[in-house]
Chain A
């Protein structure tokens, strides 16, 4: 072994300093040196590229065309984007709705889960486990929304209608999910209900990893109340979980479309709960306008990236 090492030493070329090479040369050299790592990454990368990166690139490409899946695409430049922003009222409504859902299921539900997690964390372990399950259960399955469907069914035998009619408050059943007045508020309530999910669970996990000695140290350093404790000790310790929770919440809020579909049908009355996802689904699935729906997808993509960057910035301020 030692002999080999000696031999290697003899044949080794003169070491090259990094500054003598261009950036690309250096990268290439490093890649060759670490080729095993790249090899091991390759299977995952190939799959990730084919199924995640490639579709994104393709949809950016198709967003500049008219394409109906069956006939070859025709290039039309920026027309799709121009139509989206200048000639599509429903799209503007969809952006509005998406933002409302994003704010409700994003920040509002985020803060709600954080505080619920904080409260629950104070409970004795056994009770905590049960309560955690109760809060987490709704998000286990999106199909759970059917409970709301039964509760607010438009039939006179729906729970809400049946109770209201028995109390003589109304005479004919209210079509909760077919009336613009009720659709949005109900969807938001359901959104909040289902969104207490993954982020909430990760917060509970995060809260339990905060080292006890830091609280003691903080007490010595003169922490005055629980709020200060939360802000200066607990939260900075949980940054990872908070970022994870935030990203999940944002992704979820943009993908809320399926819940609305379950509740209000597709499309909802007068597009009153129409989100960008619905718009995409409408054009891509029903109208065979893949070019146009790709443009919608690109905008949704940009919005998501933007909000993720924003969250990163905000989270960096925690504990400062």
Chain B
């Protein structure tokens, strides 16, 4: 029985394979025709400009023939400024310096300088930043232009860091007799866990040497300047900046470690005595480059110091595998210590590096603000699953630093060390392979047939030979990597070699090989991209340092058997006492209002919320104790029924909010103290679903607001820059342009993705100035022409252009089959960032096309979906409602939402972007200026859809009508009209059943 089944299956597969060989799939449409429609607007051109930039390696090769400048440093100050953006201030005094210039977070400032001789110059910038609300929690970012041009692509995003310090004002810090910190007695919560201190920005004049922000190249950058007048322009990407001076100077190179050591030995330096060893806990750092780098708790090892089997104590700093804290290039932590005598010291640490297997994690060390020697760019921390002890070194030497008696600082900055140039090379290869991939895709589609003649050699001969040379480059990289990691081939080199092997085959003089290996290439290049992405996160945790003369005892990695066993036993028994489900249950005392807040997000998210409450709200409002609980969705209803529900519930969808409200389970929030202020936090569209008019049929009754917006999501249009550039078409701004490029895309076998759900349908309605409801929410507008036209418009895309109804957007976008699609901005942004790292920079998003109005303007309205925070009716009985409202007001404020969003990114990486409803918070988040602009553009056009009791019936009936059109060729307007009665009678029934009457307020649509 089984046997015959198997035979049949094999036969079927074989027959399918044979038949598919016969099916012709090619569609060699004319590229030339597409090219003819080329236009000259912004997005594509900008992408092309960026793609066309020289890289540093190329610039270096072209310009290193010129002589180095050897004269005195040329200092350029604010008197040399020739143009400034709006909002800039000159002649300012700030943080101890006079006559500096303040430049805002947009626009370009230009300095003019006379250079005495043509040559190569290095550049330093002395900068500072405001510490008030103008400064967000992100790094300063500028694009450098010299004489109006970006000399090489790396200086498009120069990153200047800020200095964050822990607030230790009321926290006892204990020093030993030498002056090193031995303990910090952090605040504790009621369960005995340590609370991390708040962080503030501290102003500091810092000197930034222009160097590689991507971490690929060690050492300073240089520029070739012609004799005479030159301009230097800093174009703002992010953040305000104060600039004192810009210095052009002769290039400097660092001495080698040997030279450094010899120099100090010649100066009479000797190793310090053993008794002068200093021990310093890593969590007692002085400052960090980011708000999200903080001391944290490790429970995995018994000997992490200090450790407790029950309480969570702050005992290390950094992040584990997958963490984004102190893992991205440029992030640094600085420590201060005092040595009792002068001499040579080594620095050893107890660390955990479990993120980059087979290779190492790199750090650059600065002693007292300077990189002491060349090899200090390349501190290596080798991989191990458990904690290790080791001395700072580059794999060859264990460094001895010469330290004078007294106070010193050292700073560890994330970089790529020796791997940097290899990573740059790999990234370049990936970009090139992607470009070739798109060319082949345009010729033969996503799954070419090996038996077809596509004429690759006639059409893309250069690309084919380039594949061969890229393969050679990749083999070379792989070899170098093996050299660095000590001759072993690992999973890392495998992903490089896989790509090389496939490219070699494809370039091997056979058309068939190209078609045959095409899909394989895509998957391998994806793997390589993922690997590059992983290796870019250089996560490392540090427990403590020992600064001592060479030969001293190293920190122990792990405790011995007995220590570990005792720790585990203690943990086991404490587990009966320790409560992990509530996040810091705080006792209410006299005059303290206890507010129960429930959330349904994940455990990590809840912990972050708790930390922010402790750090900020608990200090600001000691009279309110927040009891935060993580519950599963669906707990709210039964809990409320039995009277043990929360006071404040987070993450409530807009339909749930109105469903609860119309049955009297949540409070009207419009009357609370501070509501007017909260109103300003959000775009007006965010309020629409939660705002209703009570009683009066014409919507003139009292206005009630039942929820505070929390998350706001909406669609944007994602597009592949490379495919658009290849086809020579522009990203459409309205539906007419959209329709105009459709034939070009369709003729090249490209798909366009769009959802057919009610969100898109509503978008069409609102773009035509219609509305989903009529009669203030009593009836549906399916009998109005505007609505019917909108529906026809929606159906048109699916019936005429055959838009796919079901598709995996991420996969098709990645492979290039679907170069344009409309989808939720956060979901897909996050997905592409992680899922398609090899496409970095090759895709973007913009506003959804609009509808051209009669007066020629474009209506770009788009509807939004909301989540809210509500206060339950029970809170009014318990008297916790105002306190609950104060909490919401604090939580949804711009600063706090910005901080929350950044903490999420620190935890989850670039894929942790959060769709906060607070518009100000966006500026705090790590979007690029361009992305931020697009989001703001879309925000300005958002429309809220009112939520009425019974509105669940709309979405499903629209879906039915749509499928009727799609499957059975029904006429759209008729199909939709059929459901008018069904929906209206459901509305009527609901109004009959419910005692409260909700209508849409008369002044909104």
Contacts and interface: CB of A to CB of B under 8 A. Distances in A.
Interface stretch (A51-59, A173-181, A213-221): A173-181
Given A66-B993, A70-B664, A269-B960, A286 B805 contact: no
A163 B952 CA distance: 37
Interface stretch (A153-161, A186-194, A248-256, A305-313): A153-161
A141 B952 CA distance: 31
Contacts of A178: 805-806, 963, 966-967
Interface in A270-320: 270, 286-289
A204 to B, nearest CB: 16
B802 A172 contact: yes
Most buried by B among A155, A158, A267: A155
Interface stretch (B15-23, B146-154, B454-462, B557-565): B15-23
B640 A153 contact: no
B807 A70 contact: no
Contacts of A163: 16
B960 A270 contact: yes
B569 to A, nearest CB: 36
Contact of B808 (A157, A168, A270, A286): A157
Contact of A71 (B1, B23, B664): B664
A69 interface: yes
B663 interface: yes
B405 interface: no
A313 B736 CA distance: 69
A66 B637 CA distance: 18
Interface residues of A, number: 31
A178 B956 CA distance: 12
B806 A153 contact: yes
Nearest to B873: A70
Interface in B1-56: 1-2, 16, 19-20, 23
Contacts of B665: 70
Nearest to A176: B806
Contacts of A156: 804, 807
A175 B640 contact: no
B450 to A, nearest CB: 15
A69 B967 contact: no
Contacts of B23: 166-168
Contact of A69 (B19, B637, B959): B637
Nearest to B811: A157
Nearest to B952: A286
Nearest to B807: A155
A68 interface: yes
A70 B663 contact: yes
Contact of B804 (A173, A179, A267, A287): A173
Nearest to B953: A287
A181 B20 CA distance: 27
B205 interface: no
Interface string A139-168: 000000000000001111110000100111
Contacts of B637: 69
B410 interface: no
Given A154-B805, A155-B804, A166-B23, A288 B663 contact: yes
A270 to B, nearest CB: 5
Contacts of A153: 806
A180 B20 CA distance: 30
B260 interface: no
A92 to B, nearest CB: 15
Contacts of B993: 66, 68, 289
B805 A267 contact: no
B171 to A, nearest CB: 47
B967 A179 contact: yes
A211 B802 CA distance: 64
A288 B641 contact: no
B90 interface: no
B417 to A, nearest CB: 42
Most buried by A among B19, B804, B995: B804
A183 to B, nearest CB: 10
A166 B18 CA distance: 11
Given A166-B19, A166-B23, A286-B952, 20 more contacts: A70-B660, A71-B995, A134-B2, A153-B806, A154-B805, A155-B806, A156-B807, A163-B16, A166-B20, A172-B802, A175-B805, A175-B963, A175-B966, A178-B806, A178-B963, A178-B967, A179-B963, A269-B960, A269-B963, A289-B993
15 contacts: A69-B637, A69-B663, A70-B663, A131-B2, A157-B808, A166-B19, A168-B23, A173-B805, A175-B806, A178-B966, A179-B963, A179-B967, A267-B956, A270-B960, A270-B963
Interface of A: 66, 68-71, 131, 134, 153-158, 163, 166-168, 172-173, 175, 178-181, 267, 269-270, 286-289
The 5 closest A-B pairs by CB, nearest first: A154-B806, A70-B663, A179-B967, A155-B806, A166-B20
Interface of B: 1-2, 16, 19-20, 23, 637, 640-641, 659-660, 663-665, 802, 804-808, 950, 952, 956, 959-960, 963-964, 966-967, 993, 995
